[in-house]
Chain A
Amino acid sequence: MRTVLMFAAVAGLIIGTGFLQSWNSALLILNMGLISAVMALGVNLQWGLAGLFNVGVMGFVALGGLAVVLISMPPVGAAWQAGGGNILLGLVLGAATIVAAVLVWSRVSGKLRGWATAAVLLIGMVIYRMVLDPAVEAVEAVDPALAGYLGGLGLPVLLAWPVGGVLAAGAAYVIGKTALGLRSDYLAIATLGIAEIIIAILKNEDWMARGVKNVIGLPRPVPYEVDLQNDPAFVERAAGFGLDATTASTIYVKIEYGLLFAAVLIVLLVLSQLALNSPWGRMMRAIRDNETAARAMGKDVTGRHLQVFVLGSAICGVAGAMMTTLDGQLTPGSYQPLRYTFLIWVMVIVGGSGNNLGAVLGGFLIWFLWVQVEPMGQLLMTGITAGMADGSWLKDHLMDSVQHMRLLTMGLILLLVLRLNPRGLLPER
């Protein structure tokens, strides 16, 4: 009952936006809310179900975005001819070096071990850079204003969503393998680090996704507004609803996106609910509540943690791919940890950790607040500064600081919820 009421309230907020502002902005909030809900679901799987503290959500989201470019953009033929093969060869060599170093480390014993491993790594690094560097230079020289990267595979963009999940899962596996099984804070620091590194790679490896030059004009799974406006049948139907063609086309496109996202969210939500109530879910919660007891019962705690960590990160990757598809562009410069990691955490904790529906609710609610706090802050500051003279430095300073109110508000919400209602709006049953 509480669940229904809460969801009705959030729906009311979004519909209210539709009436008071515009249906376009309401649908925008709804679409990003759906994506946020998917991310929150992923984090909730890790935190709510297993008690794992992942602060690298941003990295996994960005990997999902990368997948969209790699899958859906058409390949750049000239770039592939210039050095595509050598880049792939270089990457394979780099991976081979690491595998060889691990093999040497595990096979050789005695005093030689450290030196042998270091030698393998050094020689491997030199060869890797010798193959990769010229190829990268050649690729980035190909029409740098428009291309300068290898492009993607030219496949349908919807395929990028699961691929984004796979990429994120791969990164999560590597991190989980090193940091799980140690103190809980270590996972937090390791994930914080990997997220920064993934963003650094996206920003600097121009041959992959153009770095800070951004990839724009990603293919869309839904029709373009312009095509709809030129379609007489669509214009006629829009007129039947009493809408002009431009508004109708933008709303139509957003609704289609919304339906796609909702489908993904529902599938993932059903799966998470089934997982939560399955023997596997009960085992995960048992591990979360008392690790020692679970271990004594013969449960492989680290193994289970790795499993759930990879799954949760994969969900974040899918959400990241969805978000980049909605944006139609990949802009590595726009990934901020406060927006993509900590905001998701606020969603999970406010919604109710351990409760999948709570995470979804938190996703919608916090996203709504994130969008609406700025106009509210603007209003508040206008009120505070109303008595001050125009052009006084304090007034200008206060008006400038409105955009930073979000951080403060989100921090306050997080602390207040943790203090007064630590189980969230929809507590775990």
Chain B
Amino acid sequence: MDLLNGFVALANFVLIPAIAYGSQLALGALGVTLIYGILRFSNFAHGDTMAVGTMFAVLTTWGLQAMGVSLGPLPTALLAIPIGILGATALVLLTDRYVYKFYRAQKAKPVILVIVSMGVMFIYNGLTRIIIGPDDYRFADGERFVISARTFRDMTGLEEGLALRTTQVITVVTAVIVVAALFWFLNKTRTGKSMRAFSDNEDLALLSGINPERVVLVTWLIVASLATVAGVLYGLDKSFKAFTYFQLLLPIFAAAIVGGLGNPLGAIAGGFVIAFSEVGITYAWKKVLVYLMPPALEPEGLVQILSTEYKFAVSFVILVIVLLFRPTGLFRGKSI
């Protein structure tokens, strides 16, 4: 019984939150890794692209809520995602047309593009703050829990409760659908194949008649959609704040690098590695250990390795370890 209680506590506080957070990070990291594979630079504006897309979705959600539209138990924001994607895509394509295209034509060094993306980040960040404001906004509605802690306790008779929030289930389900669609697209369709060919060897792809501008266009479309979906899911799960999205840049980049930059499969694995380490290291393990250890050995402190304020340190340390021992990442991205 104790073992079961321990496992439920573990699932409630570590496994479920980490899986949800990992899915959000994986979607974010996929965007970063695609840009890196096709356009060949680290896009520092990605966190703020997520913020812009989410902002459009939040505004639409508020509009729908004001009109009385709702999805019943599901959050209204799901209906707003397409509008968010449209907004983010429009902005990203405009940026590409007026900013990045010039440097692509010049064949500028990647580091110049990184600096340019920094300028874009400034502008997106300013736009988000001007349009919606810099504060914390909540836009989740509908049923809060699939299973609440009390229902679970009543159902099973266990001491520990297991709360499963609607947003967590939606996050995982959406992430699975999006990732499956992305991989089907990359592996089965003609455009997807041309994207992979372009990423593998630009010159050969050009020689075989692949239109580079089309590949770039499709990439931005996919990246804007992924960023918006990731941003809306994260915002539903926690809340929407422009600065938080900027700060997500570090775990997202860590996930993409850990998995191997340019490798979509790696980005997903990296997202979960980062999420599980972050949640695991900043969680106070006492609650779980109380059930698993004999009473004599019960820990006195909280058994928390790092306080939650240092969660960025976790992504950073993992990043450093990977850079030291395996700079190409777990899945052999195209680095160095």
**Contact residues of A with B, CB < 8 Å?**
51, 53, 55, 125, 129, 133, 178-179, 182-186, 188-190, 192-194, 196-197, 200-201, 203-204, 337-338, 342, 345, 349, 400-401, 404-412, 414-415, 418-419
B10 within 8 A of A: no
B335 within 8 A of A: yes
**Selected contact of B115 from candidates A337, A409, A418, CB within 8 Å:** A418
- Taking a contact as CB atoms under 8 Å apart, the answer to whether B312 and A185 are in contact is no
- Taking a contact as CB atoms under 8 Å apart, the answer to whether A183 and B122 are in contact is no
- Taking a contact as CB atoms under 8 Å apart, the answer to whether B309 and A204 are in contact is yes
Measured CB to CB, the closest approach of chain B to A212, in angstroms, equals: 10
Which residues of chain B are near A190, meaning CB under 8 Å? 316, 319-320, 323
Which residues of chain A are near B246, meaning CB under 8 Å? 337
Which residues of chain A are near B313, meaning CB under 8 Å? 197, 200
Residue of A53, A179, A349, A404 contacting most chain B CB atoms (<10 Å) = A404
Given A190-B323, A194-B316, is A185 in contact with B126 using a C-beta cutoff of 8 Å? no
Residue of A192, A400, A409 contacting most chain B CB atoms (<10 Å) = A192
Chain A: CB-nearest residue to B327: A182
Nearest 9 pairs between A and B by C-beta?
A411-B122, A408-B126, A407-B126, A411-B123, A414-B119, A193-B316, A404-B129, A185-B42, A401-B130
- Chain B residues 297-336 with CB under 8 Å of chain A are 301, 305, 307, 309-310, 312-313, 315-316, 319-320, 323-324, 327, 335-336
- Taking a contact as CB atoms under 8 Å apart, the answer to whether A189 and B250 are in contact is yes
The CA-CA distance from A197 to B317 in the complex, in Å, is 10
Which residues of chain A are near B253, meaning CB under 8 Å? 189, 192
The CA-CA distance from A204 to B44 in the complex, in Å, is 27
The CA-CA distance from A51 to B119 in the complex, in Å, is 18
- Taking a contact as CB atoms under 8 Å apart, the answer to whether B121 and A411 are in contact is yes
Which residues of chain B are near A179, meaning CB under 8 Å? 320, 323
B162 within 8 A of A: no
Which residues of chain A are near B73, meaning CB under 8 Å? none
Which residues of chain A are near B323, meaning CB under 8 Å? 178-179, 182, 186, 190
**Selected contact of A415 from candidates B44, B111, B120, B250, CB within 8 Å:** B120
Chain B: CB-nearest residue to A406: B126
Measured CB to CB, the closest approach of chain A to B335, in angstroms, equals: 6
Measured CB to CB, the closest approach of chain A to B225, in angstroms, equals: 24
The CA-CA distance from A419 to B131 in the complex, in Å, is 26
Consensus secondary structure, chain A interface: helix
- Taking a contact as CB atoms under 8 Å apart, the answer to whether A204 and B320 are in contact is no
Measured CB to CB, the closest approach of chain B to A427, in angstroms, equals: 16
Which residues of chain A are near B111, meaning CB under 8 Å? 51, 53, 184-185
Which residues of chain A are near B131, meaning CB under 8 Å? 401
List 5 extra interface pairs beyond A196-B316, A408-B130, CB under 8 A: A184-B110, A189-B250, A407-B125, A408-B122, A419-B99
- Taking a contact as CB atoms under 8 Å apart, the answer to whether B125 and A197 are in contact is no
Measured CB to CB, the closest approach of chain B to A100, in angstroms, equals: 17
Chain A: CB-nearest residue to B102: A419
The CA-CA distance from A410 to B121 in the complex, in Å, is 11
The CA-CA distance from A184 to B309 in the complex, in Å, is 28
**Selected contact of B309 from candidates A203, A401, A414, CB within 8 Å:** A203
Which residues of chain A are near B114, meaning CB under 8 Å? 53, 184-185, 188
Chain B: CB-nearest residue to A397: B133
- Taking a contact as CB atoms under 8 Å apart, the answer to whether A342 and B118 are in contact is yes
The CA-CA distance from A306 to B310 in the complex, in Å, is 27
Given A183-B335, A190-B319, A200-B313, is A400 in contact with B118 using a C-beta cutoff of 8 Å? no
B80 within 8 A of A: no
Which residues of chain B are near A194, meaning CB under 8 Å? 316
**Selected contact of A200 from candidates B41, B301, B312, B319, CB within 8 Å:** B312
Which residues of chain A are near B118, meaning CB under 8 Å? 55, 342, 345, 414
B116 within 8 A of A: yes
Which residues of chain B are near A53, meaning CB under 8 Å? 111, 114-115
Flag B114-153 by CB within 8 Å of A: 1 or 0 each: 1110111111011101110110000000000000000000
B187 within 8 A of A: no
Which residues of chain B are near A129, meaning CB under 8 Å? 301
- Chain B residues 99-114 with CB under 8 Å of chain A are 99, 102, 110-112, 114
The CA-CA distance from A299 to B211 in the complex, in Å, is 41
The CA-CA distance from A204 to B254 in the complex, in Å, is 23
B244 within 8 A of A: no
- Taking a contact as CB atoms under 8 Å apart, the answer to whether B312 and A178 are in contact is no
- Chain B residues 54-84 with CB under 8 Å of chain A are none
Measured CB to CB, the closest approach of chain B to A273, in angstroms, equals: 25
B257 within 8 A of A: yes
The CA-CA distance from A55 to B250 in the complex, in Å, is 12
Chain A: CB-nearest residue to B305: A125
The CA-CA distance from A185 to B46 in the complex, in Å, is 14
Given A200-B312, A411-B122, is A193 in contact with B319 using a C-beta cutoff of 8 Å? yes
- Taking a contact as CB atoms under 8 Å apart, the answer to whether A200 and B310 are in contact is yes
Which residues of chain A are near B42, meaning CB under 8 Å? 185, 188-189
Chain B: CB-nearest residue to A179: B323
Measured CB to CB, the closest approach of chain A to B121, in angstroms, equals: 7
B249 within 8 A of A: yes
Which residues of chain B are near A193, meaning CB under 8 Å? 250, 254, 312, 315-316, 319
- A–B Cβ pairs within 8 angstroms, 18 of them: A53-B114, A53-B115, A125-B305, A133-B301, A178-B324, A184-B114, A190-B320, A193-B250, A197-B310, A197-B312, A201-B310, A401-B129, A407-B123, A407-B125, A411-B119, A411-B125, A411-B126, A412-B119
The CA-CA distance from A194 to B313 in the complex, in Å, is 8
Which residues of chain B are near A186, meaning CB under 8 Å? 257, 323, 327, 335
- Taking a contact as CB atoms under 8 Å apart, the answer to whether A415 and B119 are in contact is yes
The CA-CA distance from A125 to B125 in the complex, in Å, is 39
Residue of B42, B110, B118 contacting most chain A CB atoms (<10 Å) = B118
